[in-house]
Amino acid sequence: MHTELDEKVGRLLRRAASRRGLVPYGAFHALFAQTVPLRERYEQLEAAAAALCEPQVADYASLLATDSGLPGPDFFTRFRRLHAERYYATLGADRHRMLKLTEKRQLASEERERVYDHYRSAEPCVALGQDA
Q: What's the pLDDT score for residue 20? A: 98
Domain containing residue 12 = 2-131
C-alpha 126/C-alpha 52 separation (Å) is 9
Q: Indicate the average pLDDT of the chain.
A: 91
Higher-confidence position of 5 and 131: 5
The average pLDDT across 65-76 equals: 96
47-64: pLDDT as tens digits: 999 999 999 999 999 999
Question: Residue 65: pLDDT above 80?
Answer: yes
C-alpha 62/C-alpha 50 separation (Å) is 12
Query: How many domains does the structure of the chain reveal?
Result: 1
pLDDT band at 126; cut points 50, 70, 90: very low
Question: Residue 5: pLDDT above 90?
Answer: no
DSSP category for residue 98: P
Q: What's the pLDDT score for residue 4? A: 87
Alpha helices per DSSP H over 19-100? 25-29, 38-52, 73-82, 84-91
The average pLDDT across 25-37 equals: 96
- Local structure of 101: helix, strand or coil: helix
C-alpha 31/C-alpha 54 separation (Å) is 23
pTM: 0.86
